Each structure stands twice: as C-alpha cells, then as structure tokens.
Amino acid sequence: MRVTIASLVARRELRDQWRDRRTLFLIFGLPLLMYPLFVGVGLLFWAALQDKQYVIGVVGAERLPTGAAPLGAAAGMAAEAMYARQVYPALIQAGRFHPRYLPLTSNGGGDLLLRFLSEADEELLAQRAIDALLIVEGNCAEELERGGQPVLRILAREGEENSKLAVRRLADVLNQWQEDVKKVRFARHNLPPDFDEPVRVHNPLSDKPLEKRLFDELRDTLVKVIPFLLIMWMLTGSLYPAIDMTAGEKERGTMETLLISPASRSEIVTGKFIAVAVMGYATAVWNVILMVGAVLVAQMFFPHELLSMPGLIAGMLTAIPLAILISAAALSLGIFARSTREGNYYMVPMFLVLLPLAYWSMTPGNELNGQTAWVPVVNVLLLQQRLLATRPDPFPWATVPVIVISLIICITLLLAVAIAQFHREEVLFRDAQAPARGWFRKNAPSPD
C-alpha cells in the first residue's frame, strides 16, 4: 500500500468535510453553544439551591425545651458549660431553629422558615403552603425532665422534590439537636458525653467538612461523566463523515470515479479511515478545550481543584485509539449502506453497542483490572477515569499493554471488514433505488 496515495485520499476527504457547513456546525458549532449553556444552568441551579427557602410548619413549639444552646466560635466551651449545668438545649429560639444546628446540615443550601401552627393541618401540605410539618407530641420538655422519651413526628408530601429536600434538612437539624439532648441526659446521670460511643471510629468521609464532601462528590461525578461525553462526541464526529464518505459518494455518483483512479481499494479505505478518525478525534479535542474552559470558569466558585489537568491531557492521548476504533466501525457500516438515509439506520447498532459499554464503565465500584482491560471501549473509559481522578494509589500500568492489544485486535478486524466490503462489487454499486432484501425491504406500491 502506498502511503502517499492513502494520504492524498485522506486530504481530499477532509477538504470535502471542511466545506460542509452542516457537518462543521454539528461537530464544532453545537458544542460551542452547549457548554456555556451547561455552565450557566449549573451555576444558576447552585445559586437557586443556596437561596432556596423551605417552610416548616411546627405544631407544639411551646412544649419544646427553652434552655440555651452553645453559639459562635466558642461552641465547644459553651457546650461543656451546658452539659455542666445539665440544661436541655433549645431547638427553636426567636422564631427560628437555633443557629447551632443549621450550619451542620449535610444536604446543601436552603434556609428553613418556621410557621407555627395550633394544630396539625395536613391540608397545608397538600396546598403547598408548607413543605414539611413537624409535630411535637405531648409535652416534650416535661418528658425530658422526667427521663422519658418524647416523640417528634415529621410529615411530608409524597413524591414531591421540595418536600423531600425540606425533610432532609429538617432531619439533619433534629439529629444534631438530639445529640445535644442525649449528652445532657448523660451528664445528669454522671456519665461522659461520649458514653454511647464505646469505640471511636474516625471516618475519612464524615470527618471532612461539609463543603469538601460536596465538592468531592461533584468531582467524582465529573470523572465519570467526562469520558462518557467524549465518546459520545467522538461518535457524533465520526458517524456523519463516515456516512458521507461512503453512502454519500454512492448517491452523488463519485464512487465510480474514485474507484477507476490509480489508487487501490486498500489505499482508498485507508485514506477514508484516516479522514474519519481525524474528524472524530478533532471533535474530541474541541470538546476537551471547551470542557477545560467550562471547568476553569466553574473553578472560580470552588476552593478545591475540580480535575487533574495533566490527567485530562493524558486522557486525550488515550482517546486516540478510541477514535480509531469508532471510525473503523463507522466506515465498515457506512460502506454497506446504499444511501445516506440507509447509512443513518445502520449506525443505530453502534449506539446500541457503545452506550451499554459506556454505562458499564460508569458503574459504581467498576475499576480497571485484568478483566475489564480486555473489554473494548470500557477499558479506555476506565483508563480515562483513572487519569482524571486524583488518587494516591499506584497507577495500574500493567493493564495498559492489555488495553492496547485488545484495541489493535478490534481495529484490525473492523478495517479488514471495510476493505473486504470495498472489494465486493455488489456492495459498492448497489442502486439506492433498488429494492432491498430482508428486513430493509421497501413496501411494494399498492395497485391502483
């Protein structure tokens, strides 16, 4: 095979693609519009979540303890004083939940506004006048003084998101208040505040500050989502050029002209394959550039590093064999199609194969190991996730040769199929108007 001829065919195909405005808009223009939209919507969602206000209806607030709870930076010293005085802390003070318990919530932003009710009116929940209802059953303060176990009940709207979020926030507040009540009861029985903790466990996740935990969850999500987005964009950047270079040439009647040129069938396939791979990989590079810009904009609102930039660059290098694999598969299917419309139908199986593999790579707990390294597409996506993540454990270098071998086998088989199709005259010169066979048969015209 002559490399110069194959490169000449590739340049010719790339030049034709760059002249197609629809393809350029789909591959390069659409992401340019989408990523700023994603960042803007994400920031607006975050701001709306922080400013969100949930209305909590409270029945029996006057029956709660009214003792002082510790405040401010000296909360630890104030807590010791509260335990020494053996005073049950106040849950509600000055018409609001005590500030000690609000910053310790773990479900994001959103203020809790209280609406005091004389009776438990569940109709207010149905009418969305309140988002959750807190009912203090019996005399809570007296029950605590007697050493009893008072009951606080929470009601919510079923299947409604705002009510669920309000209940989570409210449950966090009550859990923190319950911890203080429990420690005061221990103090009244001359027991240490940590009496119910015979073993102290330091959890690296729960010991982190709230902001750091939320940020880590966001970063873990990005590590899985970015490789998925890359393969989807590479698929988009490869399919349409592959269809145009094969079935499109059949429709335009330029396939015959190309075949009578001095280039061999293998050189033509190789040139088209290079052009499709370049378009697919260029789409991935363009999207990574836009992702970096979006991450840098979002980074201004977060104190910690969102992604590993060296890992993102390394992930781009690993996307090269993935773009080659997708291009080889798209070219093999595109050659078999008789028209661009039929070519679009033939590309559907690629989505049916690639999407489950991409979802598999996002499965929680799925790691790059000796087994997953042999699975095409999944191995590259897991490798990209590992590169993007900031982890202290050793990098699984032993899996890289396995990934390369599996991809070489798949790419070789797909290119062999494409070259074999180009040597079949009945495939290359099928008339787009000829009746198809099997499932792709056109409906026969009904007799007049």
The whole-angstrom separation of Cα 364 and Cα 426 is: 47
Q: What is the DSSP string of 101-114?
A: TSTT--S---EEEE
Rounded Cα gap, residues 38 and 363, in angstroms: 24
What pLDDT score does 107 carry? 46
Let me know: does 328 contact 275? Beta carbons within 8 Å.
no
Dihedral in degrees, nearest 10, Cα atoms 220, 224, 227, 229: -110
CATH number of 52-200: 3.40.1710
At residue 208, the 3 state secondary structure works out as coil
- pLDDT for 108: 46
Residue-wise pLDDT for 377-391, tens only, equals 999 999 988 888 877
Chain segment 245-301, per-residue pLDDT in tens: 888 888 887 777 777 788 888 888 888 889 999 988 888 888 888 877 777 776 676
Over residues 402-423, mean pLDDT:
87
329, 313, 64: which is closest to 178 by C-alpha? 64
Mean pLDDT of 39-55: 73
| Domain locations along the chain | 1-44+210-427, 52-200
Q: Are strands 96-97 and 92-93 parallel, antiparallel or unpaired?
A: antiparallel
Q: How far apart are CA 300 and CA 220, in angstroms?
A: 18
What sign does the CA torsion over 428, 432, 435, 439 have? positive
- Centroid of chain to Cα 305: 17
Tokens read off for 340: 């661009």
- Other beta carbons within 10 angstroms of residue 250's beta carbon come to 24
- Contact assessment for residue 113 and residue 101, using Cβ atoms and an 8 Å cutoff: no
Record the pTM.
0.66
Band (81; pLDDT cuts 50, 70, 90): low
For residues 54-62, give the mean pLDDT. Answer: 92
Task: Answer yes or no: is pLDDT of 74 > 70.
Answer: no
* CA 101 – CA 113 distance, rounded (Å): 14
What CA–CA distance (Å, rounded) separates 343 from 248?
9
Whether 249 and 275 have beta carbons less than 8 Å apart is answered as no
Pair of tokens at residue 426: 């009945």
pLDDT higher at 26 or 12 = 12
